[in-house]
Amino acid sequence: MNQSNDQTPPKPHVILRVNKLTHKVDLESNTLTILQGVNLEINQGDSVAIVGRSGSGKTTLLGLLAGLDTPSEGSIELDGANISALSEDERAALRAQRVGFVFQSFQLLPALTALENVMLPLELAGRQNAEARARELLQRVGLGERLTHTPRQLSGGEQQRVAIARAFACEPAILFADEPTGNLDNHTGKDVSDLLMALNREQGTTLVMVTHDEQLAARCGRQFHIEGGVLSEPETRQKAAL
Amino acid sequence: MAATGKLQSVRREWRERDVRVVLAALIIAVATVATIALFASQLQSTLVSSASSFLAADRQLESENGQPLPPAWLVEAQQRGLETAEMTEFSTMVFGGGNFQLVSVKAVSDGYPLRGEVEIRTGFDESRQTLQSGPAPGEVWINPRLLRLLELNVGDELELGTRKLVIGSLLEREPDGGFSMAALAPRVMMHQTDVASTSVLQEGSRVSFVYLFAGDAAELLGFEQWLQPQLQPSQEWRSVRDGETLSASLERAESFLLLGGSLAVLLAAVAVAVASRQYAVSQRDTVALLKTLGVGSPRIGRLYLRRLAVWGVVGMVGGLLVALPLFWGLSQLLGDVLDQPVDVYLDPKALTPAVLTALVSLFAFAYPPIRRLRKVPAMRVLRSQPGESRRELVPDFIIGIVGVFGLVWAYAGDVQLVIALLVGLGLLLATLVLLGWIMVLGLRKVRGGGNAWRLALLGLYRHRQASLSQIAVFAMTLMLATTLILVRTSLLDDWRAQLPEGAPNHFMVNISPGAVNDIDEFWSSRGQPLDAMYPMVRGRMTLLNGEPVKEAVSKDERVNALNRELNLTWMDALPENNRIVDGEWFTPGKTDGVSVESELAGKLGITPGDTLTFTIGSEQITETVTSIRSVQWDSMTPNFYVAFSPDSSLRQLPATWITSFFLPKTEKNELNAFSRQFPTVSVLEVDNIIERIQLIVVQITQAIEAILGLILAAALVVMAAVVSATLQDRQREGALLRTLGGRQSLLVRATMLEFALLGGFAGILGVVAAEAAVYALQLRMFEGNFRVHWQVVLPIPFISAVVLSLFGRWQLRPVLTVSPMLLLRRLE
């Protein structure tokens, strides 16, 4: 996947391109601008951290990038498709094929076992080998012995591992992570972020992560800061990550 | 101050969704039960007063042995605030226009009728007028046919004993013109004060004295309790209920209302149970937090108990506030249906079941899971703890069952009803366990694929526990609603079968054997063929197995049939509406044996093989009972307590014949020709009675339909409450599925299918359980014949599937309109 060519480095494939993105929310008395004039280009295989304080608009940005919502102004191109122009169903189809998610609060379905939770996106995408693939991924995240446990029977770290296995189940081109270690202690958080990074590398996935954990952000190739809805990239360490 | 605090806390709680659901369920519970109970009570008082006119009063007291009733009883009744009137009935000959005629006289006092109206005409060409009084002294009102038989005119005089009375009007209809075999001759109505001057009544005359009473239920009951111990066996206390034709209809309608009310109670309890359970689950984190803040278990227990008490008050007050306008609306509707103003009667006693329902629902259903909140460990704050074990739910279940059946029992006072419902529910639960097992086994195999069917099946499997409990609640709701629909259908069928179009509406009695063929020909030639003709011989049943029959009967059993002469008959074939319940019908050629009506046989303890002796004039006939037969008394055809074999010795005795037939209103004039040709035959016109019964049946039907509508609405609300109990989970799941790439259309189809499957399963289970419950009920309460009602049963699973899939679609609404990201964050 990552075959480099020493003579002419291939032109990096831009997987996510954001142009003049603005997002406003109408409140009862006034209109709140959450994001303002955001421009962003992310290449295939990049790992990107968006850092900012609570309420700075980072989760909203993540949701827009993933096509979960449509912006008030501006355009977002995800893997060549202008998601602002896509219908809800077309965006869903794009997510099913190309996008994975990891949430701060894990978002596992409580009625399902670990195995069934991981199988869910595979079943939605109509994959035939859903169970085998889910087993394999759960083995990979170290939960091979906990397949039949429900989220309630798992610790927070274990739940997030299941969520990570689910995120990688459909081999997404891009993975969005919203504070993936936000609900975990330092030690567990580190384990989970190690796993996330490792899988990201193994699968060549693009990672876009929202976090306020500076240490976790430092492990990403690029870091952006967001404050008052404005995005900036103070320092680029793209190469360091590779 | 405390009250304000409570109110504020209610307002604060109202903001919590689960509390809203519990309170809504409670308010609906109280409102439904109260509305039904109030309306049932209103309906009963309206119907009974409408039906009371069959007695011309609310109650009648009749003495059949020729002895007058003690006047002191009338005085007592008046002192108790009852309205009273008197009536004397006897048969005698009248003379007029040179002709004699046997007539049946009814002498009435002032005040008659206490209920209903008399309809008269002052001439054949005059219009009818309705009055609430009888004739004035010195005047008689007579049956129009009698006028023709005597060849007299209105205004002429008629000799009755030693007295001449003026024919004031033609008597078209009397409110208590019920059909009784004793009153065979044309009617003459006169004033009570004229009776003595006729000198007709002598010692030993066959006469019946009747007192009429009217008043409110409590006064009547008080008087009845005072009177009953003093009654002689020959004195009979009659209410509308004792009248043969109408009482069956009224009792069935009351049973239905009772059943409807009981089902409303059950539905209400289910709604409260589901909603409060959901509330208890949602409170676990709060309790854990309170514990970490140092609040002890007892205090937590008290806190929630107080909360329940406040809910109880809010539920009751709110429920009644909803019920009263609903009740008022229904009463107005009833007034429209009856085409008469209805006195809205708010029976405070009718509110008891509603209040009881609220209390029992809260304390038998809502309290157990909330009580267990005390045991929630504080550790839950830090780490999610396993939920309740199934073993913990067993006592809840038992308390719930005991609570709800106690409630239905207290409400309906009928153990059989409670058992029937228990059997239905038991069957339902057993089937559910089986279904759950099949579901887990079967659906586990469904894997992969993104089409809506697979997703729907997977959804059922994913939510297997929630699905099963939802199916249980839906199935129970549907069972209750279906039971009601089925009972209504069979009630209406029974009523229609009882008095079909073209049912006999005239009786002919006193037909001499020689006239039988001529009469048959008379009507056949006019296109109105007669039903079967039966011979009739009057006689008393005197000995049972050689013992005087009155001694053979215990004193508690007052058997009317023994106090008067019975109409004995002989017959070849078993009449259409009779059924042999024991023994065998007469075989041709056999000359002995009698067949006895089943209720009389039951009261006297008669079984096939017993011997009965009848005294007919100076003759005695002893026969062995060969069969017991059920008779449909309300069928408007000649019915007999005792039938002899076609070749029995009864044939040797003088008999007259009786028959019934249908005569359309347009052909009524034929009766005049008939009377001229057969002057000795009496024709009893019961078409008016039939019309009135049919009108009452229509009224009851409409009322039942209104109540059914109300209960179905309540069932729908229960379903909505149950579905919305999982609203949050399903919305979160929907949002997640969308985030994970599930397309809207797929999600919609899968969810609707999943709910349709739930609804379909629940529908099938519900109707099966309902048929079982109806089977059990039918055996006891409604005396109908059980059969599967395909036309009702088949659409229900389908309707339930459609309704539930729409519910499912409705639940999904926010998932489809709000960004999944926002929804996930909001639901966290």
**Min Cα–Cα distance to chain B from A192, Å:** 19
Which residues, at least 6 apart from B189, have a Cβ–Cβ distance to it below 8 Å?
Answer: B105, B106, B107, B108, B118, B134, B135, B140, B141, B142, B171, B174
Beta strands in B663-703 (DSSP E): 682-685
Chain B residues within an 8 Å CB radius of A96: 740-743
Determine whether the interchain pair B824/A103 forms a contact, defined as Cβ–Cβ distance below 8 Å. Answer: yes
ipTM of the predicted assembly exceeds 0.85: no
Provide the residue-wise pLDDT of chain A in tens; the chain has 242 residues. Answer: 444 455 566 677 889 999 999 998 887 788 888 899 999 999 988 899 999 888 888 888 888 888 888 888 999 998 888 888 888 778 888 888 888 888 888 888 877 789 988 988 887 777 888 889 999 999 988 899 999 898 888 988 899 999 999 999 988 999 999 888 887 888 888 888 888 888 888 888 999 999 888 888 888 999 999 988 898 887 554 444 43
Strand B611-616 to B619-631 pairing: antiparallel
Dist. CA A192–CA B251, nearest whole Å: 73
Structure tokens at B93: 């000959």
- pLDDT score at B745: 81
Rounded Cα gap, residues A207 and B262, in angstroms = 62
For residue A213, give both structure tokens: 């954990």
Q: What is the dihedral of CA B601, B604, B608, B613, to 10 degrees?
A: -110
Rounded CA gap, B60 and B108, in Å? Answer: 13
- The residue assigned the tokens 């359980």 is B769
Alpha-helical runs (H) found in B499-636: 516-524, 549-552, 560-563, 598-604
Q: Note the pLDDT of residue B96.
A: 86
CB A44, CB A98: distance < 8 Å: no
CA atoms of B817 and B795, how far apart (whole Å): 33
Q: By C-alpha distance, which of A199, A203, A234, A229 is closest to A217?
A: A234
Chain B nearest CA to A202, separation (Å)? 21
CATH level 3 topology of A45-67+87-236: Rossmann fold (3.40.50)
Mean pLDDT by 10 residues, chain B (828 residues): 51 66 79 79 67 73 80 91 90 83 88 85 82 92 82 89 91 67 68 90 77 87 88 77 56 68 73 76 76 77 86 89 84 64 69 82 80 71 56 76 78 73 76 77 63 76 74 79 76 67 79 87 84 84 82 57 75 85 83 86 86 85 90 78 86 85 81 77 73 69 70 71 72 81 83 88 85 71 62 84 87 73 61
Identity of the residue in A69, A111, A126 whose CB atom sits nearest the CB atom of B450: A126
Closest CA to B176 of B210, B148, B149, B146: B210
State the best of A35, A72, A103, A107 to mutate against chain B, taking most chain B CBs within 10 Å.
A107
Q: How far is Cα B179 from Cα B175, in angstroms, rounded to an integer?
A: 11
Question: Given this model, what pLDDT does residue B57 score?
Answer: 80
B contacts of A111 (beta carbons < 8 Å): 462-466, 729
B285 touches chain A (CB under 8 A): no
| Closest-approach residue (CA) in chain B for A112 | B462
Please name every residue paired with B167 in a beta bridge, in sequence order, or none if there are none: B140
Which among B292, B263, B503 has a CA at the least distance from the CA of B383?
B292
Q: Could you give the CA distance from residue B417 to residue B413 in angstroms, rounded to a whole number?
A: 9
Segments in B100-164 forming alpha helices (H): 144-149
Task: State the residue for tokens 């409450």.
Answer: B721
The token duo for B531 is 């039903």
Side chain identity at B526, as an amino acid letter? Answer: R
The answer to whether residue A122 neighbours chain B at the CB level (below 8 Å) is yes
Give the residue from chain A lying closest to B446, CA to CA: A123
Quickly list DSSP for B192-203. Answer: GGGHHHHT---T
Where are the domains positioned within chain A?
45-67+87-236
**Other CB atoms within 10 A of residue B196 CB:** 11
B619 sits in which H/E element: strand B619-631
Q: In what order do the strands lie in the sheet with A14-26?
A: A31-43, A14-26, A73-78, A81-82
